């Protein structure tokens, strides 16, 4: 087996057995990137100099057998909305091109302490606004399974990078489905943890009541390893929760007999791709064959989720993006004659089309006279959606649904119709509004050989149950081992 195709677990074994060194692993991955990256276009920035420094430090740790973790010497890719001191962080936005953060995000500090190696910053939809990575201010990332199709979004660069074996694992962020949906479209394992499970300090904010960082990997086992190192309370993030972090990896392979799986009728709607429905139902039957009980449930307020999300998320985005005015933050237009024109022109040049659309929507729903009619009402309906899940979890342990209603769509197919694009996240938005953890794992392919994702939604802070379900499934199926031909 090629080194670049190995999982984090397999690479770790090779490293501690001293069969290969972190620097040699890095050489192999950068050679792989040289071959594959021109086709896929996952990276905004390759951090070669930093990566080799980190690999050398990891090598010393392994030779001295000091502080060696499962991530020591492992090459990881980072979504380009997480700040790394002195390394350009752009959020895939022209507005932030050339921005060098003066501090490092907590999750990256934790990975650094574990001895991980940062191979590069990955492409995304600008400010994480999108479901296809077509809204990047720089270029569109391609799906490794079909270079004419999107990898999903907004963490499309991270998903494509893992699927194309250009890193051993990656970090993404998820607001409305930005880890789970691209994980499904690229055939990898992606976990969106419970809101508050992982620190957001150093993540450039999109919607602060929804954003969450999570792992994107080749397997559920690797996901468990990565989550263990990034989870936990952080005094720098007041929304992170002081909830014990368990060893997720040790919790894998538990018997699932007697587990109750909820299947909501609202997620198997008209318009869903037939092969997606079929693959997901087959996966659910697999769990039934292992002794799990299938329970038909209803989440009645699901139909309002998209509307609620695009009011709350755009409102919070409009508030968060107010700081990018060309004065303290962001690109400044130097051709303006006065300060008002400078604000206008800076934002006109610095913000992409989708960003402008969301700022306008968000500013509108927060404006005087509309706040109560839209934003306040959306928050009330959000509570109803949360209560739907709480009621369902009184009778079931996990909920299973498709991750995305379709497999990867063609580049350009939905760009002229934002509403169709927004519906790409229809199955991931409701659990996110409720702050729940969810994982997407590969569960089949369609007739075009494009991956299908199964979404497993869990109770708050029960990531171990999701990871265990995913691990049990991957132990006896091989969907996650399939590789795109590049």
Provide the annotated active-site residues. Answer: 79, 154, 178
Name the nearest CA neighbour of 225 among 4, 442, 9, 76.
9
Name the nearest CA neighbour of 224 among 55, 4, 8.
8
Which neighbouring-strand residues pair with 171? 78, 215
User: Which residues does 249 contact at the CB level (< 8 Å), separation at least 6?
Assistant: 70, 221, 224, 225, 228
- C-beta separation of 9 from 221 below 8 A: yes
DSSP code for 79: E
* DSSP H stretches of helix in 290-425: 305-320, 339-350, 353-366, 377-392, 418-422
First vs last C-alpha separation in the chain: 16
In terms of C-beta density within 10 A (0-12 exposed, 13-18 middle, 19 or more buried), how is residue 251 classed? middle
| Torsion, Cα of 365, 366, 367, 372 (10° steps) | 80
Q: How far is CA 433 from CA 2, 154, 210, 457, in A?
A: 40, 17, 7, 12
In terms of C-beta density within 10 A (0-12 exposed, 13-18 middle, 19 or more buried), how is residue 18 classed? exposed
Three-point CA angle 52, 57, 58, nearest 5°: 95
């Amino acid at each position: 087996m090629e080194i670049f195709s190995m999982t984090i677990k397999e690479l770790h074994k090779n490293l501690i057995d001293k069969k290969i060194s972190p620097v040699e692993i890095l050489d192999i991955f950068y050679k792989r990137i040289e071959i594959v990256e021109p086709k896929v276009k996952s990276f905004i920035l390759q951090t070669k100099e930093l990566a080799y420094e980190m690999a050398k430090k990891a090598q010393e740790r392994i030779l001295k057998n000091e502080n060696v973790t499962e991530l020591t010497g492992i090459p990881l890719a980072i979504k380009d909305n997480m700040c790394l001191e002195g390394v350009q962080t752009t959020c895939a936005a022209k507005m932030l091109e050339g921005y060098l953060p003066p501090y490092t995000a907590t999750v990256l500090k934790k990975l650094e302490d574990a001895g991980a190696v940062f191979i590069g910053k990955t492409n995304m939809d600008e400010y994480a606004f999108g479901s296809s990575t077509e809204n990047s201010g720089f270029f569109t990332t391609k799906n490794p399974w079909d270079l004419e199709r999107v990898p999903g979004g907004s963490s499309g660069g991270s998903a494509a990078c893992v699927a194309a074996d250009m890193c051993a694992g990656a970090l993404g962020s998820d607001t409305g489905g930005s880890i789970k949906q691209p994980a499904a479209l690229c055939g990898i394992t992606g976990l969106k943890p419970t809101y508050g499970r992982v620190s957001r300090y150093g993540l450039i904010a999109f919607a602060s009541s929804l954003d969450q960082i999570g792992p994107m990997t080749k397997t559920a086992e690797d996901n468990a390893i990565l989550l263990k190192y990034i989870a936990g309370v952080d005094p720098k993030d007041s929304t992170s929760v002081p909830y014990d972090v368990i060893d997720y990896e040790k919790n894998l392979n538990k018997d699932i007999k007697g587990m109750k799986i909820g299947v909501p009728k609202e997620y198997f709607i008209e318009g869903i791709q037939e092969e997606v429905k079929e693959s997901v139902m087959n996966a659910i039957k697999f769990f039934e064959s292992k002794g799990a009980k299938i329970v038909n449930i209803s989440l009645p307020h699901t139909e309002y989720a998209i509307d609620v999300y695009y009011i709350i998320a755009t409102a919070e985005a409009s508030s968060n993006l107010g700081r990018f005015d060309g004065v303290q933050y962001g690109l400044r237009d130097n051709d303006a004659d006065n300060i008002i024109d400078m604000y206008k022109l800076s934002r006109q040049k610095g913000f992409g089309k989708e960003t402008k659309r969301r700022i306008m929507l968000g500013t509108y729903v927060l404006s005087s006279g509309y706040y109560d009619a839209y934003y306040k009402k959306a928050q009330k309906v959000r509570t109803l959606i949360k209560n739907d899940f709480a009621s369902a979890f009184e009778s079931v342990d996990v909920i299973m649904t498709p991750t995305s209603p379709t497999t990867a769509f063609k580049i350009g197919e939905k760009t002229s119709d934002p509403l169709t694009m927004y519906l790409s996240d229809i199955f991931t938005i409701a659990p996110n509004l409720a702050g729940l953890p969810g994982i997407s794992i590969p569960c089949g392919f369609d007739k075009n050989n494009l991956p299908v994702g199964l979404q497993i939604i869990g109770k708050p802070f029960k990531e171990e149950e999701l990871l265990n379900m995913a691990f049990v499934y991957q132990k006896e199926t091989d969907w996650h081992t399939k590789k795109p031909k590049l």
